[in-house]
A and B are shown apart, each in its own frame.
Chain A
Amino acid sequence: MTAADVLVEVAGVTKSYQKGKETVEVLHGLDLTIPRGDFVALMGPSGSGKTTLLNLLGGLDRPTVGGITVDGQAIHAMSGGSLAKWRSTNVGFVFQFYNLLPVLSAARNVELPLLLTNLNGAQRKQHVATALAVVGLTDRASHYPTELSGGQEQRVAIARAIVSDPTLLLCDEPTGDLDRETATEILQLLQALNRDHGKTVVMVTHDPQAAEYAKRILHLDKGSLLEKAA
């Protein structure tokens, strides 16, 4: 694998939290390489550090020790402001509970990340329409989150994650709140984004069936990684 093929490089990452007087180490000297175009499922019991790792990859948190490089950029060394800017163009987040803003319509929710770009109103509208078309919700653009089903809400969230065309999609239990059938649709959508749109996907999940949609499965246990091919 050449350097150009590597999207994410995690090197010797340790993450610890201060809990009262105690220091809790969640991740211990983690090494991980994710090639461009990969679809990784991150599994493991509760408290194993899956979400922590995902937050580190997304630049929402910083490693205590070690370095993380995404697309050639050392994000562990970035300041808060430049990290926010980096997030807005390089990463898309999908959350278990969708985290849509209830007062905004689906289209307005999807538009949010574009407010951080130089696109004008018409261009933003265009991008939003494209993103909603990709997730198959063109006809729901003007609906508010409360008027959508869970699966539709998650599709809107995915549209929001891809609207600024990031290379990396980070999904935290994206099907955790959905029934099996809807979950399958969402997983197929993520798979299509990976396969047809070249998105690199890292997905945290509890569900072995969900993990089957990934190209490879990583197991986190007590802060260390074990790999198993899907």
Chain B
Amino acid sequence: MKWLRQVAALTILNIRTLPQRLGSSTVAVVGIGAVVAVFAGVLSMANGFERTVAGTGSDDIAIVLRDGSNTELTSGLSLEHTRLIAGAPGVRRDANDEPIVSAELFVIVELQKKTTASAANAALRGIQANGQALRKRMEIVEGRMFEPGKYEIIVGRGAQHQFVGLELGNSIRFGQTEWTVVGVFADGGSVFESELWCDVRVLQPAYRRGSTFQTVRAQLVDPASLATFEEALESDPRLEVDVFGEREYYAEQAEPVTNFIRFVGYPLAFLMAIGAIFAAINTMYSSVSARSREIATLRALGFGPSPIALATLLEAAVLGVLGGILGGAVAYLGMNARTASTLDMQSFSQVAFNFAVTGELLIDGLLAALAVGLLGGLFPAVRAARVPVAVALRGF
């Protein structure tokens, strides 16, 4: 109790004298803040991308690809295959007893990015009549749905935001054909918002794909039907396909990019953290030497060395937390919800996403800042405990 009272009194003292060491304390706080800002910034990118891509899928929708294809781009299915898939058990049927599926084609088109004015890949997806129903959050926010059989496209909000020429009513040329933008759609911030959609039956001849598709999306009776559906397809000798739950599929899609961002981000934050630790050590050493007479006086009055060391450590921790709050605030105000886009390595097309500085990320940043502060305060705390009382009392 007495010991704790000593620690508390000494810590309050240290913190009250902080303004006297404003310069060096600010250096430590800003240094730690920069680490947290970079840490949170980079990870918010990974988080945002993950949230967009991995958040795209739904549990009661299955995606069927050709066996061995991990991505839509490398898959291929014949019309015959798509019919067999649609007829499999586990697929929900509509009022007319028709299976709710959409066989889709996915091609890459080149568009100009607004930010860099350079060419970049975009995904153009041909869907069947049920394609819209299979994306429950999908809604037309401007214009209208494309009409089947026409060279019309609707564009995702994210795609319109990042590419030139996708305004409503615009004509745009891909390969040999001229397309008209007739609508803009939203889909709850998912990957689909970065795509352009059209009728698959128009897209097939335009890209000379005959009657082939790449994927089938199927509405399952319920999430548990995935196993039945999968088993039926895999045991059918006429089919060589892989079945994924949509959510699982997109979670896997997100991995390479988020791993890459983290692979770059963590070492960067780590190196900066080492720099910040040295800044904190320096600050705390100067704090201890500035207070050495004060410390010696307290020691003479009977304060023990361990409360003095702990109070020094806590002062460093306070600087760390202040840095963490600063860095977190910078990351949150500067990056959260900011839109960026990157090349999705699986679909080879641009995916727009929002930086997500989540609460969890801010807490992680704060903990990292606290760790940096404590590590920086460790040696100075030992020095504070060892201030030679008799010499330091005279204060020269």
Q: Measuring CB to CB, which residues of chain A are less than 8 angstroms from any residue of chain B?
A: 51-52, 55, 58, 60-61, 80-81, 84-89, 93, 95-97, 99, 101-104, 112-113, 115-118, 160, 172
CA distance A86 to B298 in the complex (A): 14
Which residues of B lie under 8 Å from residue A81 when comparing CB positions? 304
Q: Measuring CB to CB, which residues of chain B are less than 8 angstroms from any residue of chain A?
A: 1-2, 5-6, 9, 13, 16-17, 293-294, 297-305, 389-390, 393-395
When the two chains form their complex, are residues B389 and A85 in contact, meaning their CB atoms are under 8 A apart? no
Known: A115-B5, A116-B6. A103 touches B16 (CB 8 A): yes
Which residues of A lie under 8 Å from residue B305 when comparing CB positions? 80, 84
Which residues of A lie under 8 Å from residue B17 when comparing CB positions? 102-103
When the two chains form their complex, are residues A61 and B393 in contact, meaning their CB atoms are under 8 A apart? no
When the two chains form their complex, are residues B393 and A95 in contact, meaning their CB atoms are under 8 A apart? yes
Known: A55-B390, A95-B393. A115 touches B300 (CB 8 A): no
CA distance A219 to B349 in the complex (A): 92
Contact of B6 among A51, A61, A97, A115 (CB under 8 A): A115
When the two chains form their complex, are residues A99 and B395 in contact, meaning their CB atoms are under 8 A apart? yes
When the two chains form their complex, are residues B297 and A95 in contact, meaning their CB atoms are under 8 A apart? yes
Contact of B293 among A55, A99, A172 (CB under 8 A): A99
Query: Which interface residue of B2, B299, B300, B305 has the most chain A CB atoms within 10 A?
Result: B300
Contact of A93 among B9, B13, B301 (CB under 8 A): B301
When the two chains form their complex, are residues A112 and B298 in contact, meaning their CB atoms are under 8 A apart? yes
When the two chains form their complex, are residues B300 and A60 in contact, meaning their CB atoms are under 8 A apart? yes
Contact of B301 among A86, A87, A172 (CB under 8 A): A87
CA distance A81 to B385 in the complex (A): 12
When the two chains form their complex, are residues B393 and A85 in contact, meaning their CB atoms are under 8 A apart? no
CA distance A177 to B303 in the complex (A): 26
Contact of A101 among B5, B6, B294 (CB under 8 A): B294
Known: A99-B293, A103-B17. A84 touches B302 (CB 8 A): yes
CA distance A51 to B394 in the complex (A): 10
Which residues of B lie under 8 Å from residue A117 when comparing CB positions? 2
Query: Which interface residue of A52, A55, A87, A103 has the most chain B CB atoms within 10 A?
Result: A103
Known: A95-B297, A116-B2. A87 touches B302 (CB 8 A): yes
Task: List 9 tightest A-B contacts by C-beta distance, closest first.
Answer: A88-B302, A99-B297, A103-B16, A87-B302, A55-B390, A61-B390, A113-B301, A60-B390, A60-B389
Which residues of A lie under 8 Å from residue B6 when comparing CB positions? 115-116
When the two chains form their complex, are residues A97 and B395 in contact, meaning their CB atoms are under 8 A apart? yes
CA distance A104 to B294 in the complex (A): 12
Known: A58-B300, A81-B304, A113-B302. A103 touches B13 (CB 8 A): yes
CB distance from A140 to the nearest CB of B (A): 20
Known: A99-B393, A103-B17. A84 touches B2 (CB 8 A): no
CA distance A108 to B393 in the complex (A): 20
CB distance from B393 to the nearest CB of A (A): 7
CB distance from A115 to the nearest CB of B (A): 5
Which residues of B lie under 8 Å from residue A103 when comparing CB positions? 13, 16-17
When the two chains form their complex, are residues B9 and A84 in contact, meaning their CB atoms are under 8 A apart? no
27 pairs, A vs B, C-beta closer than 8 Å: A55-B393, A58-B300, A60-B299, A60-B390, A61-B389, A80-B305, A81-B304, A84-B303, A84-B305, A87-B300, A87-B301, A88-B301, A88-B303, A93-B301, A96-B394, A97-B395, A99-B293, A101-B13, A103-B17, A112-B9, A112-B301, A113-B301, A115-B5, A115-B6, A116-B6, A116-B303, A160-B301
CA distance A116 to B393 in the complex (A): 20
Which residues of A lie under 8 Å from residue B294 when comparing CB positions? 99, 101
CB distance from A173 to the nearest CB of B (A): 10
CA distance A97 to B13 in the complex (A): 20
Which residues of A lie under 8 Å from residue B302 when comparing CB positions? 84-89, 113, 116
Which residues of B lie under 8 Å from residue A84 when comparing CB positions? 299, 302-305
Which residues of A lie under 8 Å from residue B293 when comparing CB positions? 99
When the two chains form their complex, are residues B297 and A101 in contact, meaning their CB atoms are under 8 A apart? yes
CA distance A99 to B393 in the complex (A): 8
Q: Which residue of A lies closest to B385 (CB)?
A: A80
Which residues of B lie under 8 Å from residue A115 when comparing CB positions? 2, 5-6, 9
CA distance A52 to B393 in the complex (A): 12
CA distance A172 to B395 in the complex (A): 13
CB distance from A102 to the nearest CB of B (A): 8
CA distance A118 to B17 in the complex (A): 26
Known: A60-B389, A61-B390, A80-B305. A118 touches B297 (CB 8 A): no
CA distance A93 to B393 in the complex (A): 11
Q: Which residue of A lies closest to B299 (CB)?
A: A84
CB distance from A87 to the nearest CB of B (A): 4
Which residues of B lie under 8 Å from residue A99 when comparing CB positions? 293-294, 297, 393, 395
Which residues of B lie under 8 Å from residue A86 when comparing CB positions? 302
CB distance from B296 to the nearest CB of A (A): 8
Which residues of B lie under 8 Å from residue A80 when comparing CB positions? 305
Q: Which residue of A lies closest to B18 (CB)?
A: A103
